[in-house]
């Protein structure tokens, strides 16, 4: 008899557990905001820039160097009849320069006031990144180019602030020759 009562008690416990497990799980939806980034390589590092500011990626075939411009200006390119300047971020960030290769791309950035290209060693593609996954840049990052950093992801992709890059007066070369 005791075994029968134990068996009934065990059955009751198991039925209660199965009912609890069968209930719909509470699926709390976390509101996460994402940005889409275009990932690219500079030297040995992976960078990302918000795709909202990327007009297109252009294969660097030929460029014309310009005399008398800052060293970070690679030159100009002709993209389907439009002349655009190309900025070499490696010079701004003091990264090692391995020279130009056949894989080099120009990422054409734009906003309502400005449009120019930035040189990339290679473009890796686009992907979404959660805004809450972007950590602030380390406080040890200072100096030239630090103001262009938005943050870094857990995968060590450095996110650049395209808005600041496009609006920085130091990058705009608009000198009148007398």
Q: How many domains, in total, are found in the chain?
A: 1
Residue 14 lies in a domain: no
Residue 43 lies in a domain: yes
Residue 44 lies in a domain: yes
Residue 17 lies in a domain: no
**Would you say residue 139 has pLDDT above 80?**
no
Residue 90 lies in a domain: yes
Residue 86 to residue 84: CA distance in whole angstroms: 6
Residue 24 lies in a domain: no
CATH of the domain at 96: 2.40.50.180
Range of the domain at 113: 36-167
Residue 65 lies in a domain: yes
Residue 96 to residue 42: CA distance in whole angstroms: 9
Q: What is the pLDDT of residue 85?
A: 94
Q: What is the pLDDT of residue 144?
A: 55
Q: What is the pLDDT of residue 5?
A: 72
Q: What is the pLDDT of residue 40?
A: 96
Query: What distance, in Å, lies between the first and last C-alpha atoms of the chain?
Result: 110
Does 90 or 13 have the greater pLDDT score? 90
Per-residue DSSP letters for 7-41?
HHHHHHHHHHHHHHHHSPP--PPP---EEEEEEEE
What is the average pLDDT value for the chain, to the nearest integer? 84
CB 30, CB 49: distance < 8 Å: no
Residue 94 to residue 98: CA distance in whole angstroms: 12
Q: What is the pLDDT of residue 123?
A: 95
At residue 46 the predicted structure's pLDDT band, cuts being 50, 70 and 90, is very high
Please write the tens of the pLDDT for every residue from 67-80.
988 889 999 999 99
């Amino acid at each position: 008899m005791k075994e029968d009562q134990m068996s009934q008690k065990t059955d009751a416990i198991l039925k209660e557990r199965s009912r609890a497990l069968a209930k719909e799980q509470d699926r709390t939806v976390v509101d996460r905001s994402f940005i889409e980034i275009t990932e690219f390589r500079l030297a040995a590092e992976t960078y990302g820039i918000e795709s909202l500011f990327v007009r297109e990626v252009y294969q660097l075939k030929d460029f014309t160097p310009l005399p008398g411009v800052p060293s970070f200006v690679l030159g100009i390119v002709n993209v389907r009849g439009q002349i655009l300047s190309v900025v070499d971020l490696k010079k701004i960030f003091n990264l090692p320069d391995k020279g130009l290769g056949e894989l080099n791309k120009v990422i054409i950035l734009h906003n309502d006031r400005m449009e120019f290209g930035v040189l990339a060693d290679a473009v890796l593609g686009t992907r979404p990144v959660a805004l809450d996954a972007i950590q602030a840049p380390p406080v040890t990052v200072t100096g030239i180019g630090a103001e262009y950093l938005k943050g870094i992801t857990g995968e060590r992709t450095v996110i650049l602030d395209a808005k600041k890059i496009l609006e920085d007066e130091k990058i705009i070369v608009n000198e009148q020759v007398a």
